[in-house]
Structures are given as C-alpha cells and as structure tokens.
Chains A and B, each alone.
Chain A
C-alpha cells in the first residue's frame, strides 16, 4: 500500500531504457517517502527474461504479467492490468515513460481511476502544498514539473486528493543507475485472466515494423544542434558535416523540425529528446524554455547566433556572434587544420 509504482515498457523481451531511468527516479522518491518501489511489466514469453533488467534498479516487488496477447501492446489489456492492480495495491505514485505506449496507456488508466496525470514532466520532487481555497495542508505530495504553453512557462502540478499521482517522463530526462542500496527484489507472477477479461483483446495488430534507432543522439558526447536561425536546408547540411568531423550527432529545435530541415526524431527539448553531451553547439537556436529543458545539463555550451541577445546565450559558455553560414565552415576548417 502507498508505494511508488513504475510501469516497465518492453519491446519483445527487452526492457526499455526509459523505464530503467524511471526506476532509478522512483527509487529515490520511495526512499524519500519511506515506502517501497514496485514495478509492473506485461508481455508474452517474458518470464525469466525481464527480471534481471528491472530488479537491479532497486525494486522491492516486481509484478510480471505474462500471457498470450499482451505483446504487441494494445490499450485495453494493459489498462486493465494497471487499473485492477492499482485498485489492490493503492500506490501513491505511478510513473511511466512519455512514449507512444505511455501516452496511450497513462490517460486511459488515469481516467478509469479518476486520478490526475501530468504529461512530459521534466522534474519530479516531493514537497508540501497548501490549498488556498480550502485551507488544507498536504504533506509529501509529488511535484510534477513541466514546461507549459509551448514552453514559455514552467508549471508545478500537484494532485492533492486523488491517488495514484501519475506522471509521464520522456526518455533521457532522468538518468538510470544501478541501485547500490538494499532492495527486497521479490517477484510475483499474477494470473493474467483475473485482471484482463477476454473482451479486452478486440484491437488486432496486423503488421508491425520497428527499426533500431538510426542515430544515437541521446548518448552522443558532442551534439551539433540547429534552430530556425540556420535559415535553410542547405545550411542545415553543414551541421551534419561538422558533427561528422567531431564524431558527434545532429539535433534540432522544434522550429527547425517544423521547417522540414531535419527528421522529427532528432528534435531536442521537452517534447523531443533530452541530451546530456560533453559539448553542445547550438546553431541559430534562440533558446525557448521548451528547447533548453532538453539540453541545459550539457557540459559546455557553444552558441552560434547573429542575435547577441538570444536567450540561449545566457546559459552558453562561449557565444559566437555571427551567422551559421559564416561560422560553421570556419569551425570545420580550423578543426581539420588543428586536430593532429
């Protein structure tokens, strides 16, 4: 009762990284609250294959639901697993990835339980809340912190009365780490039929293609990212050249993706990928909060921008005042000339 739950997402028998990141965060929250960390995973033929990918992150109790029809994911069976399990277990917090699956499942579960859900959180903290209207004081609520309104403001959301307090978090926002403390590591295999009625299996997956990611933006040590100020698709191609020289990856702001200069899966920011590189080179990026939320923990930030007052310059270590067309060829040239 009253524990922290993490829904673990799988592809086949592979637990997704975003779930492990959430387990690490969930462990910290559970320690702060003095409760257990529980995890739930559902799939087909996963028994004996997923436990070792989940327990080392500090899980006290893992619920494994293994049955035909639970992979590939469809909404109804996974919803009923969580809804019925949460009715029994009464968690105070439930976390899941802000993935296609998490964003399909989370709202359906929250609606069933009439509990609040906050999407795409960038921070999760524990804190107190005073309801000004009712004058009631609440201890130890989950602060669900996220940029809002196109990333122009940051809102802290709380769910004072309803449980569980639910939040989704994007991949890469939290950092995963094996747990060094003691956790119980108990595993149970509930009878799926008790949780999922046969009528749930109405949506059929006819065909499915999943490709491994074409790039490793999330883990790249050097990221060259472009925004609307890059100006054109041709100029944007220079970013790929520089990234290739530096053995880095190319990212983009939402504006550059909307302009069609770069694939959507390279978008950095609250509604894209979060990166933590050693070096971040921001080219023609003004620096809306929604973007900065996805790169502010970079080691060294270099901003190339012809506007000296671009907001991103405030958090940059080096500000190069100039256009992308002018500066990028020189960066490539002098890197080639001076590297050995």
Chain B
C-alpha cells in the first residue's frame, strides 16, 4: 500500500560544538555563534521514512518544520536526500513555544495536511533534549505512538513492526497505522544528499526567504516545485491562544550560568615524583586501595 509519511524535523543550533564565543558577556546564548543544523535524530527518522517509501511504491515523504524562515533549509536538505515535499510553519505567533505549544502547532499542521499514515521524527532535539514533542503530537492527534525506534522491520496489513530501544534491552512491537514514531540516534544514519536532487532543488525556497531583486525569481513561475509550502497559524486553522508563549504552561523563571563552588585544589604535574606522591597520599588516607 502507498503511504503518506510526514517527517518532523527541527533546525537546531549545534550545541555539540560549543566554542568560547557561544555565551555572551551577559550570560545569554549567542545563537549567531552556533551553526544551525538539521537535528541529528531527525535525520535518522528521515532515513526510516525514505526506506518505507522505497518499500511501498507510490508513497510520499514530506518534511514538516516549524521555525523562522531560514528553517526552510531543513526542508531543502530533506529534498536533497529524497523527500518529495515540505511545509514550513512560520509565524510570530509560534514564537516562545514550549513543547506543548509546539506539538499543538505541529498537530494542527498534520491535520491540515490530512490522511497521514505515518508521522516520524527524531526522539529528541539536541537543543532541548526533552523528547516530549513526539508523544505530545501523538496525543493531540489521538494516535498510537512508538518511541525510541531503531528500525521499522515490516509494513503489512496496515501495521508497522518496529524494533525499539528500552532500558537495558530491546523490544519488538506491532502497532496499527496511522502512527507516530520517534527514532533514536542508534538507528541507521541518513543517506547523503543526491547530486541530481541538489541540482533540482537548490533554488527551492519559501516565499519569505526571497528578495525582490533576486535574479532567479523568474524560475518560481516556471517550476512550481521550487516554492515550498509556507503556513501561518491562520493557514492551519490554529487557535492563537494555544500557540507560542500563550499556549505554553511552562515558564522560565530564571536562566543562569552555573558558577561552581571553586575548591582549593592541589596542582601537580605529570612527572613521576608528583604522581607517586599523589598515589601514596591517597593510599595513606585510605581513599583508594
């Protein structure tokens, strides 16, 4: 059977490679100093989606992302790897969303897309590490969920068989579609971009990314596939009260740089005398041994 698959993807700051200039003098995060990347586990999810598509002829894969206009980059990256379409949810009303408001926005967009068989995303995003959005989208859509998936093993009779990671082991579950799946980083890595697809989609943009003076603007009328779907709260029939800051039950009371209680430390070198002295001291005081 052919499947309609939506991949949830997020553009995130690359918090894994935080340099010295990542924090401002005031102690806030300097987002400009961190490269924006496709959230790593969302790429694992995209790979599972593309495999499902290949095994089920006639299936389509679309990338759904929420963020500022430049987040359209993750849709392009998805198209380069084999996705068929994408939707950018962008609106100032979405800003300041916690996981609940984010999942509300994504769920309304998925309803707008309609007739989706599989919603699949990364287990968590590296800028928050919460792992909440997947299950919350599932709840809002009234769908079953399978989290921590490592591989979709089978798609048969309207059901997916999935191997998933659990604490201390693995389990295999069978769940009926439509279904929400979240994928862990231990799943297969995503295939690289395909050169032909890069050529085809490199000028694909969301309307908000374009500038009037751009010399390639004429292409958008000739080739409709170069215009990415761009949706506001109104476009997905969303309730502004449930979006962004106003739809977020959690509030940030305080954010601070941690200052650890500095201890008086003994400084040693790597020379033999220092190391032997330290080992003897620890043994004498029965700290080790």
| Interfacial residues, chain A to chain B (CB-CB below 8 A) | 11, 72, 74-76, 79, 99-101, 103-108, 110-112, 114-120, 129, 131, 143-144, 147-162, 202-213, 222, 246, 254-255, 258, 264, 270-271, 278-279, 288-289, 292, 296, 299-302, 308, 311, 313-323, 326-327, 330-331, 334-335, 337-339
Q: Are A334 and B144 in contact (CB under 8 A)?
A: no
> Residue among B16, B256, B270 with the most chain A CB within 10 A?
B270
The 9 A-B pairs with the shortest beta carbon distances in the complex, nearest first, are A322-B270, A150-B15, A116-B249, A116-B250, A107-B132, A210-B169, A111-B139, A111-B136, A107-B135
Q: Are B251 and A159 in contact (CB under 8 A)?
A: yes
Could you say which residues of chain A place their CB within 8 Å of the CB of B27? 153
In the complex, 27 of the A-B residue pairs with CB atoms within 8 angstroms, ordered by the A residue number, are A103-B132, A104-B148, A107-B99, A111-B135, A112-B139, A116-B98, A119-B129, A150-B15, A151-B15, A153-B23, A155-B255, A156-B252, A204-B173, A205-B173, A206-B171, A254-B16, A264-B186, A296-B260, A314-B263, A317-B263, A319-B265, A320-B278, A330-B270, A334-B272, A335-B289, A338-B279, A339-B283
With contact pairs A208-B169, A330-B275 given, residues A110 and B15 touching in the complex (Cβ less than 8 Å): no
With contact pairs A110-B132, A320-B275 given, residues A209 and B288 touching in the complex (Cβ less than 8 Å): no
Could you say which residues of chain A place their CB within 8 Å of the CB of B100? 110-111, 114, 116-117
CA–CA, A101 and B18, complex, Å: 30
CA–CA, A153 and B161, complex, Å: 39
Closest B residue to A339 using CB positions: B289
CA–CA, A148 and B126, complex, Å: 10
Q: Are B250 and A157 in contact (CB under 8 A)?
A: yes
With contact pairs A148-B255, A334-B276 given, residues A202 and B169 touching in the complex (Cβ less than 8 Å): no
Known: A150-B126, A157-B252. 5 other contacts (CB 8 A): A110-B100, A117-B99, A210-B166, A320-B270, A331-B275
What's the least CB distance linking B187 to chain A, in Å?
13
Cβ-based interface call for B188 (8 A): no
Q: Are B175 and A203 in contact (CB under 8 A)?
A: yes
CA–CA, A162 and B266, complex, Å: 49
Could you say which residues of chain A place their CB within 8 Å of the CB of B139? 79, 107-108, 111-112
Cβ-based interface call for B67 (8 A): no
Could you say which residues of chain B place their CB within 8 Å of the CB of A258? 16
What's the least CB distance linking A16 to chain B, in Å?
8
Cβ-based interface call for B138 (8 A): yes
CA–CA, A258 and B186, complex, Å: 11
Pick from B22, B169, B258: contact of A211, CB under 8 Å = B169
Q: Are B252 and A155 in contact (CB under 8 A)?
A: yes
Cβ-based interface call for B195 (8 A): no
Q: Are A162 and B249 in contact (CB under 8 A)?
A: yes
CA–CA, A79 and B138, complex, Å: 12
Could you say which residues of chain B place their CB within 8 Å of the CB of A296? 260
